Structure 1
Amino acid sequence: MTAPKRKTRANGEGTIYQRRDGRWEAAGYVLAADGSRKRVRVYGTTRKNAADRLAEKITDSNRGLPVATADSTVGIYLTYWLGSVAVHRLRENTHTRYATCIRLYLKPGLGTKKLSRLTTRDVRTFLDRLRTTCQCCAQELDAAKHQCCAVDECCDKRLSPLTVTYVHSVLKSALEHAVREDELPRNVARNVKTTAPRPRRFQPLTATEARQLLQAASDDRLHALYELALRTGLRKGELLGLHWEDLDLDSGTASIHRSLQRTRTGGLTTLHTKTRASERRIALPTECINSLKRHRERQEEERNATKVGWKDSGLIFTTPTGGPLDPANMTRRFGRLLDRAGLRRIRFHDLRHSTATLLLEQGVDLVVIKELLGHAHIGVTAGVYAHVRLRLQRQAIDTLNDALGQADDGPADSPATAVVR
């Protein structure tokens, strides 16, 4: 009797076996992020589950897509994650900021560490060093100018707590993907707790200053834009990305579902709004409806005057020839408007904060403000404008104190008839 023929694995199928802990492990060779071929291991609760995961990685490898392995260094893995994973999930400007963060801080600080050997202590030490190290010295920024740190006169230029927190969040996102791909058992960066940076202080416009700004902008060709910004709290990109088809001036509403941004590869590009919650339909104040109608008439006059050179973009707020307005140019234009109005310098984004602050001070419900601004969660709205809520609480307490301190000669309410709500 002949022995049963042993089943052979197909070429490239890899090795699959059951571990002592009951899980199945599959191992095979794939194209690594550094261009070499390395052995990768994946795990599953069943043999088929582990085989499918390995087959997916081998398929990607055969298509020329590199696969990160636990044997890779942190620098190689970050390159793989940025180019093969994050690029498909992030907006282009966000991806550019991630790339800068990885190039300037994460690779120099942790790039040579083995991904599988990265510890919580390594991450904590790296972040502590990032907080205390002068970046001019670390990046030799003054070497070409032969000044400051280059001549042993350290300028002590350190990163802000907000930047350090941002670097930490990028690392956490990258390692979280490694955990999902079974390259790491846990996300060691998530075990490091950093102090939440204090929110950036801003001084929104008062009601008097807001009226002063609108008065100064009354003869500006973009008066309708400033009116919308102050009365609805729209973001700058949302304002510049508005098309005439987004408006219903008869019913007095506007649909917000895109934003104009300048990207590195596409230049001025219309993108989706910041988040899904930012896609919203808002009511337009009567003043905005009137100013938009006047703006449309002016735009028609500019179109007729330009004739051949007019760019029919469909945008509401354009250059005098119909092209999109550059956000950076809009910022400079806004600065000149503040000077004309005799107001202090603020960011254009502070108009949005001014809207929310003024609405809160008028007693508008926080939920309504959240929907108007397009915040994803009401906690964001409550957190940003906590200083206003505290001031309103103080006013409420003072009002109650005044009421309790007044002498009342009339009959007091009896405990049985007093109503408490």
Structure 2
Amino acid sequence: MAKKRSNGEGSIFRIADGSWRASITVRLDGLGRAKRKTVRGDTQKEVKEKLRVLLRLRDENALSDPSRMTVSEFLDTWVRDTAADLKPSTRHRRDNLIRLYVAPHLGSKHLQKLTPLDIQQWQTHLLNTPRHVGSQKREPDAPPPPNLSPATVSGAVTLLGTALRHALHLGLIYRNPAEAVKRVKIPTREFTVWEPSEVQGLIEAVLGHRLYGLVYLALTTGLRRGELVGLRWSDIVRGVIHVQQSCVLVGNIATMTTPKTKASRRRVPLSPDTLEALRLHRDRQARERDAAGEDWRDHGLVFPTSLGTVYHPRNLLRDWYALLEAHSVRRIRLHDIRHTYASLAIYQGLDPKVLADRLGHSRASISLDIYGHVFEEQRDRAALSLTQLVSRDPSAADPLAP
């Protein structure tokens, strides 16, 4: 028998179509009549969660007059309700977007009176707003900082839309004004890749460098920067990497966390030459440990600092560019090694689904979207003549053969 809810705790019930409802008394009108608020959901669990939020809002007097609740007041509630489900890096980014871009412009507006026009004008204003540069003072003759990127603006609008969807589910508003807004377009970011000769030249040049193993592994697996920094020796079992943690920045603090998506938690088989590069790297790491002596801090990481501590991603990026400059290698981003691996693998005929699995994409379509032009070039190379099709010479029949 279900436990009866006490007065004031609200009521939960199921209706004929199988969905669930919950309602609570939020206030009394001038004649002493009860005013109730109702929420809906597909499951009892969903409705219970919405009811819990409503009860807290009522206890905080936020529901005594919903028309007076501001956007900032609701965002404070939404942040508390959803913080437990987010990773630290996501919470940090969300809090920054609210603090820097949402609250200063829309926070004082009444939630129920927020319109699509308000959000559209706010989006336009953000696109013409200089990028936040922190507390650093700008020299008088220095050029002004660039405006906020479309990606940042889009992120702020998306965040607000997500919060308003939560308000809609709670019955605080009756439509989501963000859904009517024409969103800013995010331009596709171009990436740069190395030619095979450049890859070979760099590998030969850095054979004695402490980043040799990291560069080799990145070039043969396409692991992300955070995955490389977070990789532990215990994650490599019988020639296969099990990606189980990643290093992300929360503010400027390097923090270990689990991969963001299920697809990112993956198995990455290693080739014999990559395993040999890792063996050489482990020998070099043992010498660093001996040299550090009591200063060594063992975290079991494959690519730590020379003292065994976490290699801060920004320090890694700095050392990466210094390495390229020292060996006169064309400068590309560290993340572009991932793109280089993917492009070279496609040219060698790697199937899109296999590539997606290795890169940690949830669907092969994501890989096709990112590297579509490379796949098109490969398809062009597959235009075989009749002579090539009927030839018994493997090199003549294989358009990818050297």
TM-score by length of 1: 0.76
User: How many angstroms apart in 1 are the aligned matches of 2:40 and 2:246?
Assistant: 42
Letter matched to residue 263 of structure 1: V
State the SS of the aligned residue for 1:277.
coil
State the SS of the aligned residue for 1:112.
coil
User: How many angstroms apart in 1 are the aligned matches of 2:229 and 2:242?
Assistant: 13
Deviations 1:355-410 (A, max 9, x none): 101111222111111000001222221111122123334444xx46xx49x9xxxx
Establish whether residue 174 from structure 1 lines up as the match of residue 186 from structure 2. no
Pick the aligned partner of 1:359 from 345, 370, 377.
Answer: 345
* Corresponding residue for residue 92 of structure 1: 88
Deviations 1:337-357 (A, max 9, x none): 111231222211111111101
* Corresponding residue for residue 172 of structure 2: 183
User: How many angstroms apart in 2 are the aligned matches of 1:162 and 1:350?
Assistant: 19
Letter matched to residue 331 of structure 2: R
State the SS of the aligned residue for 1:303.
helix
Does the aligned pair in 1 maintain the 2:203–2:212 contact within 8 Å? yes
Against the structure 1 CA distance between its residues 367 and 57, is the aligned structure 2 distance closer, same or farther, given a 3 Å change threshold? closer
Cα drift, residue 219 of structure 1 = 0.7
Does the aligned pair in 2 maintain the 1:26–1:51 contact within 8 Å? no
Cα drift, residue 55 of structure 1 = 5.8
User: How many angstroms apart in 1 are the aligned matches of 2:47 and 2:358?
Assistant: 49
User: How many angstroms apart in 2 are the aligned matches of 1:143 and 1:207?
Assistant: 42
* Corresponding residue for residue 194 of structure 2: 205
Pick the aligned partner of 2:114 from 115, 118, 127.
Answer: 118
Against the structure 1 CA distance between its residues 369 and 335, is the aligned structure 2 distance closer, same or farther, given a 3 Å change threshold? same
Letter matched to residue 105 of structure 1: Y
User: Aligned ranges for residues 153-302 of structure 1 at < 5 Å?
Assistant: 157-248=146-237, 251-264=238-251, 267-302=253-288
Letter matched to residue 245 of structure 1: S
State the SS of the aligned residue for 1:278.
coil
User: How many angstroms apart in 2 are the aligned matches of 1:264 and 1:356?
Assistant: 30
Structure 1 stretches lacking a partner, 5+ long: 1-8, 17-22, 30-38, 407-421
Does the aligned pair in 2 maintain the 1:42–1:53 contact within 8 Å? no
Pick the aligned partner of 2:70 from 43, 60, 73.
Answer: 73
Letter matched to residue 249 of structure 2: R
Cα drift, residue 76 of structure 1 = 2.1
What value does the CA root-mean-square deviation take over the aligned residues? 3.7
Deviations 1:152-204 (A, max 9, x none): xx959433222222222111221122223222233221232325322111111
Letter matched to residue 255 of structure 2: T
Deviations 1:130-157 (A, max 9, x none): 33x3437xx89999758489xxxx9594
Letter matched to residue 114 of structure 2: L
User: How many angstroms apart in 1 are the aligned matches of 2:145 and 2:251?
Assistant: 31
Establish whether residue 103 from structure 1 lines up as the match of residue 90 from structure 2. no
Pick the aligned partner of 1:135 from 130, 134, 140.
Answer: 130
Against the structure 1 CA distance between its residues 140 and 111, is the aligned structure 2 distance closer, same or farther, given a 3 Å change threshold? farther
* Corresponding residue for residue 418 of structure 1: none
State the SS of the aligned residue for 2:263.
helix
User: How many angstroms apart in 1 are the aligned matches of 2:134 and 2:244?
Assistant: 41
Cα drift, residue 295 of structure 1 = 1.7
State the SS of the aligned residue for 1:364.
coil
User: How many angstroms apart in 2 are the aligned matches of 1:367 and 1:53?
Assistant: 38
Compare CA radii of gyration and give the structure with the larger one.
1
Does the aligned pair in 2 maintain the 1:243–1:315 contact within 8 Å? yes
* Corresponding residue for residue 4 of structure 1: none
Cα drift, residue 258 of structure 1 = 0.5
User: How many angstroms apart in 1 are the aligned matches of 2:224 and 2:77?
Assistant: 33
Does the aligned pair in 1 maintain the 2:150–2:186 contact within 8 Å? yes
User: Aligned ranges for residues 316-395 of structure 1 at < 5 Å?
Assistant: 316-395=302-381
Against the structure 1 CA distance between its residues 193 and 357, is the aligned structure 2 distance closer, same or farther, given a 3 Å change threshold? same
User: How many angstroms apart in 2 are the aligned matches of 1:10 and 1:109?
Assistant: 41
* Corresponding residue for residue 410 of structure 1: none
Cα drift, residue 271 of structure 1 = 0.6
Against the structure 1 CA distance between its residues 108 and 215, is the aligned structure 2 distance closer, same or farther, given a 3 Å change threshold? same
Letter matched to residue 95 of structure 1: R
Structure 2 stretches lacking a partner, 5+ long: 13-20, 28-34, 388-402
Pick the aligned partner of 2:39 from 36, 43, 65.
Answer: 43
* Corresponding residue for residue 19 of structure 1: none
Against the structure 1 CA distance between its residues 371 and 55, is the aligned structure 2 distance closer, same or farther, given a 3 Å change threshold? closer
State the SS of the aligned residue for 1:193.
coil
* Corresponding residue for residue 306 of structure 1: 292
Deviations 1:80-116 (A, max 9, x none): 323x034222222222222222222212222222111
Deviations 1:300-333 (A, max 9, x none): 2232333322212111112222212111111011
Does the aligned pair in 1 maintain the 2:160–2:178 contact within 8 Å? yes
Against the structure 1 CA distance between its residues 79 and 286, is the aligned structure 2 distance closer, same or farther, given a 3 Å change threshold? same
User: How many angstroms apart in 2 are the aligned matches of 1:60 and 1:176?
Assistant: 18
Letter matched to residue 239 of structure 1: L
